[in-house]
Amino acid sequence: MTFLIAENGVQTYLPILFMFIAAMGFIVTSMLATHYLGPKRKSKIKDEAFECGIESQGNARTPFSIKYFLVAILFVLFDVEVIFMYPWAVNFKNLGVLGLIEMFMFMGFLVLGLLYIIKKGALKWE
Amino acid sequence: MSTIDIKPENKPEGLEGAGFFATSLEKVVGLARANSLWPLPFATSCCGIEFMATMASHYDLSRFGSERLSFSPRQADLLMVMGTISKKLAPVLRQVYEQMAEPKWVLSMGACASSGGIFDTYSVLQGIDRVIPVDVYIPGCPPRPEQVLDGILKIQELSKSEGLRMRNSPEYKAKLALYGIE
């Protein structure tokens, strides 16, 4: 049995397209089927937010302190810095002195930023 | 070495031939529902400890398709009430039941959940069937894990035989209306 598949060109990517169609088709079909086959019941209590069976208090979309956002963003920043250091540490010998200087510059910039936010008082929680 | 007889799932009635098997959608859905019940454990006292034993390796409830416990009512099929329900907790239990998606079943485990048990006092609900409809009761104080497995198998039988239209029927609505549930 022989298959006629072009050696190169766009045709070689056809199996990927078919896989995407099959995957999307499965999701759409199963979602629609469960939607129409399954029994449903709707009431005011059913549609309420689930808070372990206790009545929910207030609105979830209330304003809260900007400090949470600042701390979260700063965490992400320094988290990324640490992640960058892993591949650098693995290739430490190959990258040599140049890599060391580059990484120290990168860290230096971030430390300057850290000093700046401490001076600005972004991490003060009072 | 002793041999263990494994009983395969009973095939529903249907048309069979070489390499194919055809049956009604209702039976297929029933089989699927029965063998993939997701329990929501509402464990308040010692029956909950027996339930832990039921889920652990020795009795292993996951053999019966109930591997995944759901702690949100949205994805649960089976509400397992295990333990004493005080009158203060009754509205909470009721709201959890009402927020479960259809189809849903309720299993009342142990004397306390089924009837209040020894706690015949002002503060204890005398059986959860005063606030929500119950499908299967398990007797015992607390029941052994074998009894819990038996109760779950009874729920499986119920879910296999109830059919596709039961949950939309006026009888079912009337049953829920008895408990004041829309």
pLDDT tens, B163-182?
A: 888 888 899 999 999 998 87
Which chain A residue lies closest to B88 (C-alpha atoms)?
A54
A45·B182 Cβ contact <8 A: yes
Q: Which among B72, B92, B98 is the nearest to A54, CB-wise?
A: B92
CATH 3.30.420.10 fits A66-120, yes or no: no
Give which of A41, A50, A51, A56 to mutate to test B binding, by max B Cβ within 10 Å: A41
Tell me which residue of B84, B132, B139, B130 sits closest to B105, measured CA to CA. B132
pLDDT tens, B105-155?
A: 999 999 999 999 999 999 999 999 999 999 999 999 999 999 999 999 999
pLDDT beyond 60 at A4: no
Rounded Cα–Cα distance for residues B147 and B140 (Å) = 9
Does residue B18 lie within any of the structural domains?
Answer: no
Does residue B181 lie within any of the structural domains?
Answer: no
> What are the two backbone dihedrals, phi and then psi, of residue A11, each rounded to the nearest 5 degrees?
-60, -30
Tell me which residue of B120, B107, B91 sits closest to B179, measured CA to CA. B91
Does residue B86 lie within any of the structural domains?
Answer: yes
Domain range for B60? 32-161+170-176
The H or E element containing residue A92 is helix A92-120
ipTM of the complex: 0.70
Does residue B81 lie within any of the structural domains?
Answer: yes
Contact status, residue B62 vs residue B89, Cβ threshold 8 Å: no
pLDDT band at A68 (very low <50, low <70, confident <90, very high): confident
- CATH classification of the domain holding B83: 3.40.50.12280
Does residue B120 lie within any of the structural domains?
Answer: yes
| Overall domain count for chain B | 1
Rounded Cα–Cα distance for residues B70 and B42 (Å) = 10
Does residue B15 lie within any of the structural domains?
Answer: no
Strand ordering across the sheet containing B39-43: B39-43, B78-82, B105-109, B136-138
Q: Which tokens belong to B137?
A: 């009761």
Contact status, residue B117 vs residue B110, Cβ threshold 8 Å: yes
CB pairs under 8 A between A and B: 41
Contacts of B91 in chain A (CB under 8 A): 53
pLDDT beyond 60 at A1: no
